[in-house]
Chains A and B, each alone.
Chain A
Amino acid sequence: MRRSQTISLFIDCPYAATYRFLADPRNYGEWAAVDKPTYRPLVNGDWEGMTNIGGMRHFRFSPVNDFGVLDHAVFVPGEEPLWTPMRVMPNEEGTELAFTFYQRPGMSDEEFASAIEWITTDFLTLKAFLEARRR
């Protein structure tokens, strides 16, 4: 089993609006570590873009669902997608978000810790973006 860490945070934005925003792959470039000008849809339904962790990657997203599930896979084209579980849950007028990151093959413990730091920054960006958008 891979090492994993779950990040959770509260977002002061209603659940339905948060889910709708995150479920649309077009919005991924607004908050994730992908270079926006290079981020574009592919014919097979996946997306591609330059990442700050090592070049061009493909992205695949969960189908829209009633459970707040927002899993996505980031992978090198042609390789097996490694799914990253993510979910939003209602919390009164706001939203709770949980994200589980797995240590990837060949990733050292230091790189894993660093990746968690980067991802946490992404989520704080997302939180600020959604909370500002609401006002």
Chain B
Amino acid sequence: MKHIEFELMQRFLAGEADLAEQDTVAEHLACCDQCAALLAQVTADDAALAGALRFDDDEMQWLASVDLTGPVLQNIRPWYQEGASLAVGLLVLAPALWLLNWVVSMITASVVTDTPVGSTLEFLKGLIAALWELNLYLGRGGLLVTIWPALALAAALWLFYAYSKKEDRSNA
């Protein structure tokens, strides 16, 4: 006699077996003591696992004592503050990229390119130059074009944020 596969038994117990599988299992269980005993054991195993993972009194007390409301609300930043952070990030990134490009150019000018160090620097220079080109392309014309709209956006968002903070304080 072919016994029920363990995985099918697990699905049967979870109520996930389809109708045909349920019939097969039920028919087999009616005439196979070995599988019936195994089913009882798997049921007991599942109950033991579920029982072991349930909260005990100590955990229940801890769960009841934790209040996440304050820390969560403190960590939620309004969209305009997120936007301001992004704008500030852009502001820092553009000159940093320019500076890096300049530093690497200075170094590569004084290093022989057929050494491993030289070729690595040459590669870095190429990479930075490509990023710089991308920055120019995105800025549609140069550093200032990238910076000033970002600066204006950052200033506007921070002002909005400062105003809403003041409102919050006065409401409180």
A and B together in one complex: no
Interface residues, chain B, with chain A CB atoms under 8 Å away: none
A: residues with CB less than 8 A from B are: none
